[in-house]
Amino acid sequence: MTDFKALLRTLVEGGVDFILIGGAAATVHGSSRLTRDVDVVYRRTRDNIARLAAALTPYRPYLRGAPPGLPFRLDAPTVERGLNFTLTTQLGDLDLLGEIVGGGGYDALLPSTLLIRAFDIECRCLNLDRLIEVKRAAGRPKDLEALAELEAIRDEGSAEPR
Amino acid sequence: MTDGERSSIDDVIDVYKRDVDRTLIRQRLTRSIEERLEDLMELQRFAEELRRAGRRAAAAS
């Protein structure tokens, strides 16, 4: 099970610049669909990557679905030379995305975010309109039902989440 | 979005939208962000318990 509270707190308290996207962001906007992981777009600066690696290392991040025992380390050089990582951690599944289809990276998405507060922390979350746009851009059939729900939420006149 | 900007994907989404439970959405929108995330974790726990029960039943049969 993914501990959304602990994962978000770990990133925030580690000083990581990130934007919550994906199913957890949909939950923030009112979706009732089950999601099992936390998806974030992280800022691709050297300092932020160092903070990201330092924050997550205690929770033993590892490549999700890969056989055990591989010499993987989520350190700064690994993140700098990669881009997107689908991980397991002791806090649950986490997708670290340097860029997303139809949205770009952190700085491109930042104007389309809102600051949310939960569990005594604050973090950035993609707004509903942009979340719908990037899900459409991803073009995955499994997202179509999720898109229908998100559009219905928008139709209901969901203002910014409380 | 005008009709001219629509694609068949919009038509597919509209088909799915017919089955969206808007009562549930309205209920969810009364919840705070923290409550929505807590609900998601509770749903995860419930789903995991069901998976475990399924595995136990399969092993016993």
Asked if the C-beta of A136 comes within 8 angstroms of chain B's C-beta atoms, the answer is yes
pLDDT for B6: 86
What are the structure tokens assigned to A1, written together? 């099970």
Residue A90 pLDDT greater than 70, yes or no: yes
What pLDDT was estimated at residue A144?
A: 93
Per-residue pLDDT at B56: 93
Contact at 8 Å (CB) between A42 and A97? yes
pLDDT band at A140 (very low <50, low <70, confident <90, very high): confident
Closest Cβ opposite residue B17 in set A36, A148, A161: A148
Band of pLDDT at residue B3, cut at 50, 70 and 90? low
For the record, the structure tokens of A110 come out as 């930042």
Residue A10, Cβ neighbours under 10 Å: how many? Answer: 19
pLDDT at A158 (0 to 100): 58
In DSSP notation, A64-86 reads TTSPTT------HHHHHH---EE
Q: What is the least distance, in Å, from the CA of A10 to any CA of chain B?
A: 16
List the single best residue of B20, B38, B45, B52 to mutate versus A (max A Cβ within 10 A).
Answer: B20
Tokens of A149: 């729900």
Chain center to CA of A110:
13
Does residue A152 sit at the B interface (CB-CB below 8 Å)? yes
pLDDT for the residue A40: 98
Q: What is the mean pLDDT of residues A36-55?
A: 97
Under the banding of pLDDT at 50, 70 and 90, the label for residue B4 is: low
Mean pLDDT of chain A: 95
Label residue A98 by pLDDT band (50, 70, 90). very high
Asked if the model's pLDDT at residue A154 lies above 70, the reply is yes
**Confidence label for A61 from pLDDT (cuts 50, 70 and 90):** very high
Res A36 pLDDT > 80: yes
Band (A139; pLDDT cuts 50, 70, 90): confident
Mean pLDDT on A127-138: 94
pLDDT single digits (tens) B7-60: 898 999 999 999 999 999 999 999 999 999 999 999 999 999 999 999 999 999
pLDDT tens digits, residue range A10-27? Answer: 999 999 999 999 999 999
Assess whether pLDDT exceeds 60 at residue A159: no
Residue A71: predicted pLDDT: 96
Q: For residues A119 and A101, what is the distance between their CA atoms, to the nearest angstrom?
A: 30
Q: Which residues of A touch B11 (CB under 8 A)?
A: none
